Amino acid sequence: MHTTKIKTNEKLIVQVQRLLEERSRKSLDIAKREVLQEEMKCKEINDAFEYYAGNWNDVIHPGLLSIACEAAGGDADKSIPMQVVMLLLTAAVDIHDDIIDESNTKYGKPTVFAKFGKDIALLVGDALLMKALVLLHKLERQFKIEKIDAIWNIIKSRFFEMGNAEALEASLKGNTDVSVKEYTRILKMKASTSEAHMRIGAIVGGGEQEIVDLLGNYGRTLGILIGIREDFIDVFEPEELQTRIRNECLPLPILYAFKNPQIKKIILNYLSKREISDKDSEKMVDIIFKQKDVEMFRNKIKRLAEEACNNIFSLPNKNLASQMKILIKGVIEDL
């Protein structure tokens, strides 16, 4: 790994982005219209709706649901209404998560929480959640009772798991003694939403339980790898690290480096500074990625990715299996 930034194979990243965007474009446009058609009497809430919709670009979750539907033998376009439901539900969770973590920026732009405050953000999240549940209720008539029951159970269990992960992480705020095992457990629990989208997509596509489980397991692994990649990226962002010390857990690469008590002391000295210079950041990054435990962690990531790729090649649709492999490769690129 280069020690000043995460290098990426731009061709592969563009391929992954295009793949997900093509599968998500219709559902994302519909979800935005659903949000914007709600006229609230409070101008600030309407402004918040417009702001969120204008910056809403979640192509991962609807993309995964679409892929799973087709991989299970269904028509991807027929999964669009369910994609819209899950987009709204995931957006609600996302906004509530920003409130809990006091996140001021995301993808380089202010969050709804930062721009409109806690109260408005909470109300917007609640509105999106209610919208999702109403639309899901309307979709019920399109499925047999056992399928809709399975979908509701997946939403309940996986999103409750996500909530438990957030609660566990909140209880560890400001704790620099979090173990690798503790935080890995949280990261795995957070990946429950990616698993939910894949499982629901497979059900919508008419997949047998074996296919639903296979795709669900893939979704869980992909979600874990996405979380790990975000952790690697955050190592290069001093301001983000200082925010994470206050409101979340430190990234996994740092927790692995902390296994060396001397290194832990050095890194914490850097992070305790009121202002971290570019030179300080480069030194900190160099120290972290020279640790043997961090290198072992990177090898573990590669093995996890290889296992996921090997499992999906049992899918009948080899073209989709190849696309899913590209997604895995894109997530772990140059970690």
pTM: 0.90
3-class secondary-structure state, position 243: helix
110 bridge partner residues: 105
What pLDDT sits at residue 1? Answer: 36
3-class secondary-structure state, position 105: strand
What pLDDT sits at residue 14? Answer: 76
For the chain, how many structural domains are there in total?
1
Would 86 be classed as within a structural domain?
yes
Would 109 be classed as within a structural domain?
yes
Mean pLDDT, to the nearest integer, of 54-64? 94
Would 3 be classed as within a structural domain?
no
Full residue range of the structural domain in which residue 228 is found: 10-332
Mean pLDDT, the chain, as a whole number?
91
Q: Which two tokens stand for residue 240?
A: 């983000």
CATH number at residue 168: 1.10.600.10
Q: Amino acid letter at 90?
A: T
Cα(162)–Cα(177) distance, integer angstroms: 23
List pLDDT tens digits, range 160-169. 999 999 999 9
Q: State the pLDDT confidence band at 170, using cuts at 50, 70 and 90.
A: confident
207's torsion region: left (phi>0), alpha (psi -120 to 50) or beta? beta
Q: State the pLDDT confidence band at 6, using cuts at 50, 70 and 90.
A: very low
Residue 9 is classified by DSSP as -
Those residues with Cβ within 8 angstroms of residue 253's Cβ, 6 or more apart along the chain or in another chain: 231, 232, 235, 288, 289, 294, 297
31 bridge partner residues: none
Would 42 be classed as within a structural domain?
yes
Q: Answer yes or no: is pLDDT of 111 > 60.
A: yes
Q: Which two tokens stand for residue 175?
A: 């704790």
Those residues with Cβ within 8 angstroms of residue 200's Cβ, 6 or more apart along the chain or in another chain: 65, 68, 82, 86, 151, 154, 155
